[in-house]
Amino acid sequence: MAQAYVTDTGNGGSEPEPSGSRVRRLLADLRKDGGIWRRGIVLAVLAGLLSLVMVFHAYLPNDIGNTGSLIETFLPWLGVAVPLLLAGAFVRKSATALLAILLTAAVWLNLFGGLVFDKSGSGGNLTVAAHNVDADNADPRATAESVARAGAEVLALTELKASAVPVYEKALESTYPYHAVEGTVGVWSKYPLTSALPVDIKMGWIRAMRATVKTRQGDVAVFVAHLPSVRVKLNAGFTANQRDNSAEALGQALAQEPLRRVILLGDLNGTMNDRALSPVTSQMRSTQGAAGDGFGFSWPAQFPMARIDQIMVRGIKPEASWTLPRTGSDHLPIAARVTIRP
């Protein structure tokens, strides 16, 4: 007797269902399920609000606890919410949420996608570095030796403790024959330094300076600054008013600089997104933004979350920017390579 063979194409059958059939069946199920557009409204609204915050962050109010500046300090981290929302959209099987979240992802990529990739070039005729060495650094000599190995021709140090200055001077003297220290900031150079003077940033003590570095390509004005620290307090919000006042004073000093070529190095206690630093950022170009390798977060050293240490230039072309290995400080050192044209 002839035997009849039956092929079961269902889920429990012996032959796998073709992928094309599964996709067509899924689409058919979605068409039947009108709830796919009604579910996930809350997720869609959250995604929409996230997009609005990223696009219009400059309009967020700073009147109450400097909320706008606080959000702008960690603005790139808003992208962490995208995969979380996306997972929720799949769990809820919501097309509405999925479309809203994809739009949010596109907004984030438009704002920060360029920072993800390495934009560094191979050019440059001057390497500079900056480091907040931490006043409580337990091993200033090791810190000095570590940053000196970066090979920078110009090195700026901030948060120098008076008792530790001789240690830094001794550790760096063989690499940098020229240096100047004003208050808690200093600059070390392989090229001659002249006109080293403090810069008043309205703090009551010296935390900023300016010097002329005589490079092979000509004179360059080098500013070193350490703006006041900021804190997040439950009863006061983002306490950044003193920093904002100092940023205004530093911006005025930069605007009055007669030399065409200017480099600013130091700890600004704020990011390039923070509108409170616009007196400075509006007239200077970030080396990290123009030629960095990734976001270049520099603080805190254990788990960097923000780029509050900056190397900025005017009249000079950024070529590359990167962070250096961790030292005994709570900040990572940063470095940049630039091109100075005669």
Which two structure tokens, joined as six digits, stand for 203? 């703090």
Q: Could you tell me if 145 and 290 lie in one domain?
A: yes
Q: Coil, strand, or helix at residue 163?
A: helix
Provide the pLDDT for residue 227. 97
CA atoms within 13 A of residue 3's CA, in its CB half-sphere = 2
Dihedral pair phi/psi, residue 214, rounded to 5°: -95, 85
Whether 296 and 282 have beta carbons less than 8 Å apart is answered as no
Is 219 within a domain?
A: yes
Q: Does 295 score more than 60 pLDDT?
A: yes
Q: Could you tell me if 188 and 245 lie in one domain?
A: yes
Whether 99 and 122 have beta carbons less than 8 Å apart is answered as no
Which two structure tokens, joined as six digits, stand for 224? 């070193």
Which two structure tokens, joined as six digits, stand for 156? 């700026």
More confident residue, 213 or 68: 213
Q: Could you tell me if 65 and 142 lie in one domain?
A: no
Kind and range of the H or E run holding 83: helix 81-92
Q: Across-strand partners of 263?
A: 222, 313
Provide the pLDDT for residue 35. 74
Is 3 within a domain?
A: no
Predicted structure pTM score = 0.84
CA atoms within 13 A of residue 22's CA, in its CB half-sphere = 6
Provide the pLDDT for residue 66. 81
Provide the pLDDT for residue 105. 97
Q: Could you tell me if 323 and 244 lie in one domain?
A: yes
Last residue of a domain, one of 54, 89, 115: 115
Considering the chain, what percentage of its residues have pLDDT values greater than 90? 78
Q: Average pLDDT for residues 99-115, to the nearest whole number?
A: 94
Is 13 within a domain?
A: no
Separation of alpha carbons 60 and 72, rounded Å: 9
Q: Could you tell me if 91 and 144 lie in one domain?
A: no
Whether 332 and 311 have beta carbons less than 8 Å apart is answered as no
Last residue of a domain, one of 83, 115, 147: 115
User: Using one digit for the tens of pLDDT, what is the confidence trace for 256-294?
Assistant: 999 999 999 999 999 999 999 999 999 999 999 999 989
- CATH number of the domain at 168, please: 3.60.10.10
pLDDT band, residue 2 (cuts 50/70/90): very low
pLDDT band, residue 51 (cuts 50/70/90): very high
Is 212 within a domain?
A: yes
Q: Average pLDDT for residues 181-196, to the nearest whole number?
A: 98
Q: Could you tell me if 146 and 250 lie in one domain?
A: yes
Last residue of a domain, one of 92, 115, 138: 115
Domain count, the chain: 2
Q: Could you tell me if 80 and 156 lie in one domain?
A: no
Separation of alpha carbons 332 and 324, rounded Å: 6
Residue 276 DSSP class: G
Whether 304 and 333 have beta carbons less than 8 Å apart is answered as no
Strands, E assignment, the chain: 126-132, 154-158, 178-182, 185-189, 193-198, 208-215, 218-226, 231-233, 237-239, 262-267, 285-286, 309-314, 317-323, 334-339
Q: Average pLDDT for residues 144-155, to the nearest whole number?
A: 97
Angle at 123 between CA 122 and CA 128, to 5 degrees: 100
Provide the pLDDT for residue 68. 87
Is 120 within a domain?
A: no
Containing domain of residue 192, as a range?
Answer: 126-339
Q: Average pLDDT for residues 331-342, to the nearest whole number?
A: 96
Whether 88 and 101 have beta carbons less than 8 Å apart is answered as no
Which two structure tokens, joined as six digits, stand for 241? 């008013």
How many Cβ atoms from other residues are within 10 Å of residue 156's Cβ?
31
Q: Could you tell me if 110 and 201 lie in one domain?
A: no
Q: Could you tell me if 267 and 148 lie in one domain?
A: yes
pLDDT band, residue 323 (cuts 50/70/90): very high
pLDDT band, residue 232 (cuts 50/70/90): low
Q: Could you tell me if 166 and 81 lie in one domain?
A: no
Q: Average pLDDT for residues 193-217, to the nearest whole number?
A: 97
**Longest CA pairwise span in the chain (Å):** 108
Provide the pLDDT for residue 70. 87
Q: Could you tell me if 327 and 193 lie in one domain?
A: yes
Provide the pLDDT for residue 4. 45
Q: Could you tell me if 186 and 273 lie in one domain?
A: yes
Considering the chain, what percentage of its residues have pLDDT values greater than 70? 88
Is 6 within a domain?
A: no
Provide the pLDDT for residue 20. 65
User: Using one digit for the tens of pLDDT, what is the confidence trace for 4-28?
Assistant: 444 444 444 456 666 567 656 655 6
Q: Which range (57-66, 175-184, 206-215, 309-318) has the least confidence?
A: 57-66
